[in-house]
């Protein structure tokens, strides 16, 4: 219940006192009265104040018990109630969270509206990272989503940390790759257009994607587990107790484009990590799966006996919205005060024992006492009402209740998950006719609905369920229909919402084959058949769960947490963490402070101790030792010595730490980084920004891309390269497994040492796309359809050719392959000629920007990464890097 605060201050109503007159006299009289002993006001005034207080209190009680009304009415224009003063706080607006993903235009539709006349060469690739391939609800949802994406012409690849029984199901849908945590850094994420991460174990993947060159890659993190959220709730002030732990997770969440939850309850748990990118996409089959699995492993009679419920008693479970987790259930009061007297009268008439169980709030003593007081006002006998906090296992309650009453009258952004779980447990439900419910449920067929504007109509719903000796047959048939409906009720909406989310975050490159729209989704049901055929719902081993919980514990608290992870052998669902307490953190802080003080004292003592003067030999030896401790100069000297006498050096172009695992070691290769100060430790890599100052400008660095590294090597080349042959290779060549093998390296070095040809080029990464098209058609496909035109304009401008002379050079079309990924070597003098030509061509292309009528556009790109910082149409790295060399010379 929202509580009203004080809207005005009493001082606002005090009259302003002047310098004299009656007001001054009244003020003087007030001073005299304050000096008198006894009461400061008349008894009549005190009596009047008591009457006003009693009247205000009665108004407050009546106001709190007024019906709240349908959430639909609020959506039609009524103002939202103010936040509550006490109880749980709602840290986000769930309705706004659902709309965050879809309030922008679909980028897929924007790409279609651009009227791409050139054919696409590459499919849109998606990486789906899963924790395991077990038979569970998460795999059920993800396989259905993957099948829908494949049907829409996306190319999906699954990367799983551990194998499982669902491997065969995955394999029939898409490509499957089981990757260990140690091998994740060797995955070339740049070949994907987006990455979908599932489970908390995906944090390792997000850590890699936070580094260059993967930072522009859209990442969607699907969170289905509440382990981290429960971990956060154990600390009342997490920012003070475990700041590094919280900030680390917050940084990973912030690095994602969106963090998606299946219901509105999980974002409440994860709210300390919300940086504005949380989304809720309801409809996951987790609740249906949990109901199936719980029903197969538990007995209704046993659980009723454990709770002291008689066989002939009718148990009504009252549930509501997750959005008001810690608040008193004022919505329930509205419904039950209007219907409970009629229900109790029916029970006495039919001689039925009725018990009400409330599933709401938390389990603190303060909340329990407040709830008991609230229940007494609703008119229930003391022995007919029980309360269970929302942290209790809802599956346990649904095993022994006979009716579920959804008492919340507030509109939710999606179908209430507690209501869906109740329907899947084959229990007759009574719910208000809110729009989000009537969208899927029909009154009298799948559920019993009452008018949300008149909560007293809930009593008529009870009359349609209760019979002389229990529930009527109609109630059982409606419950069965509700169960059948709930199995796939939200499948289509859930899949479509995920596809729409991808369409809103994906960048569609100019060479991409555009997939189908979300409106073409064909899947209307979850893939129950292959999962149920493995008969794993009732045979899930506790060992699999133990391994899953252990892995999650390692993610949350580090490897040391595994020793503190305990599983109760008496229950399959009981687990706990041995969390460090606040005193543990205080002790650790004191130890760190003590060690810091001790270290400073030792440094001060060393500074005060007199040291003998050193000889020149000792000074020289210490200086040489200090130089050897510096990896840059030492490694550079060793690298130059190793390359002495070699015929060729291949420079591997990279940017960021994410590319380090793909670089080679040895005398044949040498790295060159486009990130200032981003060289590998203990290496002789070249810093391109230090060699070419223009690359310090982010505009030109992103404009030239890998050609900036070539310009940096060519600038004063004698200071960095003194060999007769020179080559370049992108870091992506190793990531895509197309780099030189050891035997090819030996062959290349022997060829370089035995030949001395001019203008000879050797390459080893041919283009893997369609070779039937000629060069210029392929270049158009790769560059938004403008390659041919821009080449012609640039050549005409560079050579000063008149309009009547053909400026576009003819390219051979004899079926040979074109090179990609800057994988080539050539004589060093030929390289200098090529760089001279390239610099003139880039300058000519850059000058075309003056004729561009749309300065914010990029004619050589169709997606945001392609157009990054490219306000002019010239992007030499786009087309020169993708279609570069042919066997018989330079284009």
Higher pLDDT, 286 or 88: 286
Give the number of other Cβ atoms within 10 Å of residue 646's Cβ.
15
pLDDT of 21 over the 60 cut: no
Higher pLDDT, 187 or 633: 187
* Nearest-angstrom CA–CA distance, 779 and 879: 7
Strands 725-730 and 824-827: antiparallel
Q: How many CA atoms lie within 13 A of 541 on its CB side?
A: 7
* Nearest-angstrom CA–CA distance, 872 and 854: 8
Q: What tens digit of pLDDT does each residue of 59-77 get?
A: 444 444 443 333 333 333 3
For residue 197, the surrounding DSSP H or E stretch is strand 194-198
Residue 10's pLDDT is: 35
Higher pLDDT, 314 or 570: 314
785 close to 844: Cβ distance less than 8 angstroms = no
Mean pLDDT of 391-401: 88
Q: What share of the chain is helix, strand, coil (3-state, %, to 5)?
A: 50, 10, 40
Among 63-72, 559-568, 764-773, name the most confident range.
764-773
* Nearest-angstrom CA–CA distance, 741 and 620: 44
Sign of CA dihedral 26, 28, 29, 35: positive
Residue 48's pLDDT is: 54
Give the distance, in angstroms, between the CA of residue 261 and the centroid of all CA atoms in the same chain: 9
749 close to 668: Cβ distance less than 8 angstroms = yes
Residue 64's pLDDT is: 43
pLDDT of 55 over the 60 cut: no
* Nearest-angstrom CA–CA distance, 694 and 676: 12
pLDDT of 526 over the 60 cut: yes
Q: What tens digit of pLDDT does each residue of 707-740 get?
A: 999 999 999 999 899 899 999 999 999 888 888 8
- For residue 285 the two structure tokens come to 């089959």
pLDDT of 621 over the 60 cut: yes
Closest-CA residue to 134 (of 125, 126, 142) = 142
Q: What tens digit of pLDDT does each residue of 173-216 get?
A: 999 999 998 899 999 999 999 999 998 889 999 999 999 999 99
Confidence of residue 748 (pLDDT cuts 50, 70, 90): confident
| 32 CB-near residues (< 8 Å, 6+ apart) | none
Among 511-520, 687-696, 856-865, name the most confident range.
687-696
Give the distance, in angstroms, between the CA of residue 745 and the centroid of all CA atoms in the same chain: 42
| 778 CB-near residues (< 8 Å, 6+ apart) | 121, 767, 769, 770, 818, 883
pLDDT of 856 over the 50 cut: no
Q: What tens digit of pLDDT does each residue of 118-143 get?
A: 666 789 999 999 999 999 899 999 99
Instruction: For the chain, state the CA radius of gyration.
Output: 36
Mean predicted lDDT score pLDDT of the chain:
76
For residue 372, the surrounding DSSP H or E stretch is helix 365-377
Residue 500's pLDDT is: 93
pTM of the model: 0.76
Strand, coil or helix: 342: helix
Higher pLDDT, 308 or 536: 308
Higher pLDDT, 412 or 521: 521
Confidence of residue 553 (pLDDT cuts 50, 70, 90): low
Q: List strand residue ranges (DSSP E) for 41-119, in order.
A: none
| 86 CB-near residues (< 8 Å, 6+ apart) | 3
Confidence of residue 604 (pLDDT cuts 50, 70, 90): confident
870 close to 702: Cβ distance less than 8 angstroms = yes
Confidence of residue 627 (pLDDT cuts 50, 70, 90): low
Among 496-510, 742-756, 815-829, name the most confident range.
496-510
Q: What tens digit of pLDDT does each residue of 209-264 get?
A: 999 999 999 999 999 988 888 777 766 554 444 557 788 899 999 999 999 999 88
* Nearest-angstrom CA–CA distance, 100 and 25: 62
Higher pLDDT, 660 or 769: 660
Residue 794's pLDDT is: 86
CA dihedral 531, 535, 541, 545 (to 10 degrees): 20
DSSP state letters, 505-549: H----TTEE----GGG----S--HHHHHHTT-SS---HHHHHHHH
Bridge partners (DSSP) listed for residue 317:
357, 404
Higher pLDDT, 91 or 435: 435
Strands 575-576 and 566-567: antiparallel
Rounded to whole angstroms, what are the CA distances from 213 to 139, 448, 506, 674, 719?
Answer: 30, 56, 17, 10, 28
Sign of CA dihedral 324, 325, 329, 331: positive
Residue 770's pLDDT is: 57
* Nearest-angstrom CA–CA distance, 863 and 509: 5
Mean pLDDT of 49-58: 55
DSSP state letters, 596-613: HHHHHHHHHHHHHS--PP
Q: What tens digit of pLDDT does each residue of 805-828 get?
A: 888 888 877 666 677 778 899 999
For residue 457, the surrounding DSSP H or E stretch is none
Confidence of residue 691 (pLDDT cuts 50, 70, 90): very high
Name all domains of the chain by residue range, CATH numbers in brackets: 99-113+123-284+493-533 (3.40.50.2000), 286-489 (3.40.50.2000), 542-576 (no CATH)
Burial of residue 244 (CB within 10 Å: 0-12, 13-18, 19+) is exposed
- Across 397-414, b (16+ Cβ under 10 Å) vs e yields bbbbbbbbbbbbbbbbbb
Mean pLDDT of 694-715: 89
pLDDT of 701 over the 90 cut: no
Closest-CA residue to 818 (of 748, 760, 770, 866) = 770
Higher pLDDT, 461 or 846: 461
Q: List strand residue ranges (DSSP E) for 569-710, in order.
A: 575-576, 648-654, 669-673, 686-687
Q: Look-up: residue for tokens 């349908």?
A: 70
Q: What tens digit of pLDDT does each residue of 156-168 get?
A: 999 999 998 999 9
> What is the DSSP secondary structure assignment for residue 186, as one 8-state letter?
G
Higher pLDDT, 120 or 687: 687
Closest-CA residue to 286 (of 438, 413, 139) = 139
Closest-CA residue to 868 (of 878, 880, 858) = 858
Give the number of other Cβ atoms within 10 Å of residue 69's Cβ.
15
- Pick the range with the lowest mean pLDDT from 101-110, 401-410, 726-735, 862-871: 862-871
Mean pLDDT of 38-50: 50
């Amino acid at each position: 219940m929202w509580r009203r605060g004080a809207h005005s201050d009493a001082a606002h109503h005090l009259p302003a006192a002047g310098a004299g007159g009656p007001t001054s006299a009244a003020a003087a009289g007030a001073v005299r009265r304050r000096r008198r002993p006894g009461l400061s006001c008349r008894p009549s005034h005190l009596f009047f104040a008591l009457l006003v207080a009693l009247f205000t209190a009665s108004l407050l009680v009546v106001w709190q018990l007024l019906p709240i009304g349908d959430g639909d009415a609020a959506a039609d224009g009524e103002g939202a109630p103010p936040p509550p003063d006490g109880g749980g706080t709602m840290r986000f607006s769930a309705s706004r969270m659902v709309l965050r993903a879809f309030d922008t235009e679909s980028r897929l539709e924007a790409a279609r509206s651009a009227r791409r006349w050139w054919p696409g060469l590459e499919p849109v690739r998606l990486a789906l990272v899963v924790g395991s391939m077990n038979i569970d609800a998460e795999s059920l949802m993800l396989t259905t989503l993957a099948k829908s994406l494949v049907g829409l012409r996306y190319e999906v690849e699954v990367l799983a940390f551990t194998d499982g029984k669902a491997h065969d199901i995955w394999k029939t849908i898409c490509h499957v790759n089981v990757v260990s945590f140690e091998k994740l850094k060797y995955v070339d994420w740049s070949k994907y257009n987006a990455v979908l991460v599932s489970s908390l174990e995906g944090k390792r993947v997000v850590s890699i994607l936070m580094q260059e060159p993967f930072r522009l890659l859209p990442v969607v993190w699907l969170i289905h587990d509440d382990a981290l959220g429960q971990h956060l709730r154990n600390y009342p002030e997490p920012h003070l107790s475990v700041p590094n732990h919280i900030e680390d997770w917050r940084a990973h969440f912030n690095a994602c484009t969106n963090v998606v939850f299946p219901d509105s309850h999980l974002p409440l748990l994860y709210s300390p990590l919300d940086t504005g990118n949380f989304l809720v996409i309801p409809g996951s089959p987790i609740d249906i799966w949990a109901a199936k699995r719980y029903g197969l492993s538990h007995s209704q009679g046993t659980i009723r006996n454990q709770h002291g419920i008689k066989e002939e008693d009718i148990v009504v479970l009252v549930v509501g919205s997750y959005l008001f987790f810690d608040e008193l259930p004022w919505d329930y009061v509205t419904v039950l005060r209007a219907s409970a007297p009629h229900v109790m009268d029916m029970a006495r008439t039919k001689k039925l024992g009725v018990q009400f169980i409330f599933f709401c709030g938390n389990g603190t003593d303060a909340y329990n006492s407040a709830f008991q007081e609230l229940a007494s006002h609703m008119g229930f006998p003391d022995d007919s009402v029980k309360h269970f906090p929302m942290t209790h296992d809802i599956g346990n309650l649904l095993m022994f209740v006979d009716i579920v009453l959804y008492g919340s009258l507030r509109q939710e952004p999606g179908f209430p998950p507690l209501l869906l779980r109740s329907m899947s447990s084959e229990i007759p439900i009574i719910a208000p006719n809110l729009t989000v419910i009537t969208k899927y449920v029909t009154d009298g067929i799948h559920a019993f609905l009452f008018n949300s504007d008149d909560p007293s109509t809930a009593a008529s719903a009870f009359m349609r369920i209760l019979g002389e000796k229990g529930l009527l047959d109609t109630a059982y048939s409606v419950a069965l229909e509700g169960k059948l409906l709930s199995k796939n009720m939200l499948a289509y909406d859930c899949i479509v919402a995920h596809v729409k989310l991808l369409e809103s975050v994906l960048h569609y490159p100019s060479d991409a084959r555009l997939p189908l729209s979300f409106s073409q989704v064909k899947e209307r049901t979850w893939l129950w058949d292959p999962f149920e055929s493995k008969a794993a719902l009732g045979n899930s081993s506790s060992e699999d769960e133990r391994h899953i919980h252990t892995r999650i514990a390692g993610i949350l608290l580090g490897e040391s947490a595994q020793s503190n992870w305990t599983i109760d052998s008496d229950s399959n669902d009981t687990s706990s963490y041995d969390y460090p307490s606040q005193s543990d953190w205080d002790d650790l802080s004191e130890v760190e402070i003590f060690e810091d003080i001790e270290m400073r004292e030792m440094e001060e003592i060393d500074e005060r101790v007199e040291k003998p003067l050193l000889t020149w030999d000792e000074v020289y030896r210490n200086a040489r030792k200090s130089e050897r401790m510096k990896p840059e100069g030492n490694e550079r000297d060793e690298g130059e010595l190793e390359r002495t006498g070699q015929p060729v050096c291949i420079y591997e172009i990279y940017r960021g730490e994410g590319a380090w695992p793909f670089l080679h070691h040895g005398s044949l290769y040498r790295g060159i980084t486009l990130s200032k100060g981003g060289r590998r430790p203990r290496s002789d890599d070249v810093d391109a920004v230090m060699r070419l100052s223009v690359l310090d400008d982010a505009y030109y660095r992103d404009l030239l891309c890998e050609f900036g590294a070539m310009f940096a090597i060519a600038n004063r080349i004698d200071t960095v390269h003194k060999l007769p042959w020179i080559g370049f290779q992108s870091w992506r060549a190793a990531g895509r497994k197309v780099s030189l093998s050891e035997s090819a390296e030996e062959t290349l070095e022997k060829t370089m040492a035995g030949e001395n040809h001019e203008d000879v080029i050797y390459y080893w990464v041919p283009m893997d796309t369609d070779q039937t098209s000629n060069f210029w058609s392929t270049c158009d496909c790769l560059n938004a359809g403008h390659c041919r035109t821009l080449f012609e304009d640039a050549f005409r401008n560079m050579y000063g050719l008149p309009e009547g002379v053909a400026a576009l050079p003819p390219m051979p079309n004899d079926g040979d392959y074109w090179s990609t990924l800057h994988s080539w070597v050539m004589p060093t003098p030929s390289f200098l000629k090529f760089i001279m030509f390239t610099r003139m061509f880039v300058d000519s292309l850059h000058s075309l920007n003056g004729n561009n009528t749309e300065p914010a556009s990029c004619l050589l790109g169709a997606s945001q990464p392609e157009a990054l910082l490219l306000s002019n149409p010239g992007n030499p790295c786009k087309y020169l890097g993708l279609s570069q060399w042919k066997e018989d010379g330079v284009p």
